[in-house]
């Protein structure tokens, strides 16, 4: 059996000056993210997990649980306070990606990872065309033929069901659903090994959500892509994730196979989540 593609250990993100009490005065038992002793905000502590090739890992929790923080650290939008993340495509997994220099970080984002943010405005440049948004990732990977770039952009827009005749239009004028599809096409453009989805359907109308979810599931299974999906919505997790972490107040309270967690939740918080979703 092959090893994990990504192995995160002891990830902690603390905003403000940390004190020795931070760890014990926050978390699900205490019911807060703010350290009573020093006032630091503990976004997440001691988060560890492995992701295997082709697997979809779900992270579920309410807002403030730290789930998006974990994703932002992996995509390096945010620097962790401590922890390691060994990634198969970075120095053979010998060194944490959080020790990468700026150029290496950019290479990871260009060649190995794709990110879909909840708000398409974060992942798209609304001042350039839909095709240009996809081109940006290809250009970063040194593509230098306009025709090839446009063929590939068409391919992925087609794949994500964006009409090709909108390729040279500005996504600022697109509907929210279509913006999200362009963002997914952009994230897919370099065939990333690891796809990161941060609440990919949360901002969308309910009628549009199902279509985007089907699309994501279909692309994942056809490509065998490794995915980490973060959501507050158990329905999204149920549909996409093989394994799931449940987070609350910055800590992982439960983890396991998604089916198992949904059928037989162990932690009281998970039980609450499952029951209220039912």
Partner 1 sequence: MTSVRQLVQDAGVSASAYSYGFLDETAKREIRRKTLKAIAIPGYQVPFGSREMPVSRGWGTGGMQLTLSLVGPDDVVKVIDQGDDAGVNAANIRRLVERTTGLSTTLETAMASIIQSRHRIPEEALRSDQILVLQVPVPEPLRNVERRVSAARVMHAERDYSKMWLALYEDIVRRGEVSFGAGYPVMVHGRYIMAPSPIPRWDIPLLNQSDALYLFGAGREKRIYAVPPHTSVEPLQFDDYPFAVEDFDGKSCARCGANDTFLEESISEVGMPRFRCSDTAHCDKVLESREVGT
Report the residue number, 138 or 194, with the smaller CB distance to partner 1.
Answer: 138
Among residues 116, 120, 109, which one has the least CA distance to residue 230? 116
Q: Cβ 141 to partner 1, closest distance in Å?
A: 9
Report the residue number, 1 or 146, with the smaller CB distance to partner 1.
Answer: 146
Interface contacts to partner 1, rule CB under 8 A: 102-103, 106, 128-129, 131-132, 135-136, 139-140, 144-147, 149, 168
Q: Report the phi/psi class of residue 57: left, alpha or beta, with left for phi > 0 and alpha for psi in -120 to 50.
A: beta
255-262 — which CB contacts under 8 Å span 24+ positions? 255/49, 258/58, 262/234, 262/238
Q: Cβ 147 to partner 1, closest distance in Å?
A: 5
Q: Cβ 83 to partner 1, closest distance in Å?
A: 25
Report the residue number, 188 or 246, with the smaller CB distance to partner 1.
Answer: 188
Report the residue number, 100 or 204, with the smaller CB distance to partner 1.
Answer: 100
How far apart CA 44 and CA 27 sit, in angstroms, is 9
Report the residue number, 106 or 268, with the smaller CB distance to partner 1.
Answer: 106
Q: Cβ 168 to partner 1, closest distance in Å?
A: 5
41 vs 27, 29, 38, 64, 245, CA distance in Å? 11, 16, 9, 10, 21
Report the residue number, 137 or 243, with the smaller CB distance to partner 1.
Answer: 137
């Amino acid at each position: 059996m092959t090893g994990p593609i990504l192995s995160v250990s002891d990830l902690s993100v603390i905003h403000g000056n940390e004190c020795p009490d931070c760890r014990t005065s926050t978390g699900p038992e205490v019911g807060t993210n703010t350290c009573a002793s020093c006032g630091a905000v503990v976004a997440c502590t001691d988060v560890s997990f492995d992701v295997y090739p082709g697997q979809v890992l779900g992270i579920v929790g309410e807002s403030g649980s730290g789930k998006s923080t974990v994703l932002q650290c992996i995509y390096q939008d945010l620097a962790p306070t401590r922890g390691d993340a060994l990634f198969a495509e970075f120095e053979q997994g010998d060194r944490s990606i959080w020790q990468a220099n700026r150029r290496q970080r950019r290479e990871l984002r260009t060649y190995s990872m794709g990110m879909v943010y909840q708000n398409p405005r974060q992942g798209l440049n609304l001042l350039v065309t839909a095709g240009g948004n996809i081109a940006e990732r290809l250009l970063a990977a040194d593509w230098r033929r306009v025709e090839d770039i446009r063929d590939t952009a068409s391919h992925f827009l087609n794949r994500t069901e964006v009409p090709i005749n909108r390729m040279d239009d500005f996504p600022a004028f697109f509907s929210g659903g279509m913006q999200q599809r362009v963002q997914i096409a952009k994230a897919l453009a370099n065939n990333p090994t690891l796809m990161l989805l941060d609440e990919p359907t949360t901002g969308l109308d309910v009628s549009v959500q199902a279509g985007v979810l089907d699309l994501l599931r279909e692309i994942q299974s056809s490509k065998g892509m490794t995915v980490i999906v973060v959501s507050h919505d158990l329905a999204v997790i149920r549909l996409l994730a093989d394994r799931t972490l449940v987070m609350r107040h910055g800590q992982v309270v439960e983890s396991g196979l998604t089916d198992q967690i949904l059928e037989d939740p162990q932690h009281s918080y998970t039980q609450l989540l499952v029951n209220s979703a039912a």
